[in-house]
Amino acid sequence: MSSGGKDGTLAFDRATRSGLKIRYLANIYEGSTGRVRFHGIRKELIALQAESLGLELVSGHTTPEAFEPVFLRTLQALKAKGCDGVVFGNIHLADVRAWYEERVLAAGLDHIEPLWGDAPIELVHEVVERGYRALLVSVDLKQQAAGMLGRELDADLLTEIGITEDLDPCGERGEYHTYVFDGPTFRKPIPITKGPTVEIDGHRFIDLTLLQADERMSG
């Protein structure tokens, strides 16, 4: 399962390097907005990410109240396609992992957590050192990453993240979310451009859109 961010991408990277054959990218987005909840990423950009990774997209749309039944249907769809398990990018939130693990195992699938238990600061460094490129697309205005919106996850930002008190380096407490647009497992980079920002319920999002062909040529 992926929301298009760095943790799911790194989990895919590690799982692939360990020898697992991954064929699908599963994603659930909000039907009323066409965007991934908390990340604010358009479903079209998730589809482009799946294409660039060489994966078939399996998606479902939901509202917060209806997430569980849609998630369960997504699991059944994966099982029907012949999947044996599902890879997640959880790191250290035991209650979150337990919620997913219970339902994945009940669906007759393996629950796989390649990042689980590793130090967040080491994981976020691994994302950059592996060559992935990610933008911070959502921040919680009440937490310490509030001023980092729109920045690329690079060496300079890693240094800033590492010295910022009360900030989980991977944003596991919802401090920030990312969108990965290029990296070693991508067939080609996704040409995105940053649009306006918007604030909703104490969070600030940046609207990413696809760079148009004429803009790419002029750039």
Residue 17 CB neighbour total at 10 angstroms: 12
pLDDT in tens, 150-180: 999 999 999 999 999 999 999 999 999 999 9
The reply to whether 28 falls in a domain is: yes
pTM: 0.93
| Domain carrying residue 107 | 6-212
Residue 216 has pLDDT above 70, yes or no: no
Stated as kind and residue range, the H or E segment containing 39 is: none
The reply to whether 1 falls in a domain is: no
DSSP label at residue 65? G
Angstrom CA distances, 161 to 91, 118, 131, 135, 151, stand at 17, 17, 18, 14, 12
Stated as kind and residue range, the H or E segment containing 176 is: strand 176-182
- The pair of three-digit structure tokens given for residue 131, joined into one six-digit string: 């060559």
The reply to whether 83 falls in a domain is: yes
The reply to whether 219 falls in a domain is: no
Residue 10 backbone phi and psi in degrees, to 5? -65, -35
The reply to whether 154 falls in a domain is: yes
CB 59 within 8 A of CB 78: no
The sign of the dihedral angle between the CA atoms of 38, 42, 47, 50 is: negative
Give the pLDDT band of residue 217 (cuts 50, 70, 90). Answer: very low
The reply to whether 69 falls in a domain is: yes
Rg, C-alpha atoms of the chain:
17
Separation between Cα atoms, residue 3 and residue 94, nearest integer Å: 19
Return the exposure string of 182-209: e unless at least 16 CB atoms fall within 10 Å of the residue's CB, then b: bbebbeeebbbeeeeeeeeeebbbbebe
pLDDT in tens, 50-69: 999 999 999 999 987 899 99
The reply to whether 164 falls in a domain is: yes
Residue 201 has pLDDT above 70, yes or no: yes
Average pLDDT of the residues in 70-87: 97
The reply to whether 217 falls in a domain is: no
Quote the number of domains for the chain.
1
Residue 70 backbone phi and psi in degrees, to 5? -70, -40
What's the helix, strand, coil split of the chain in %, to 5?
Answer: 35, 25, 40
User: Closest by alpha carbon to 104, among 91, 87, 120?
Assistant: 87
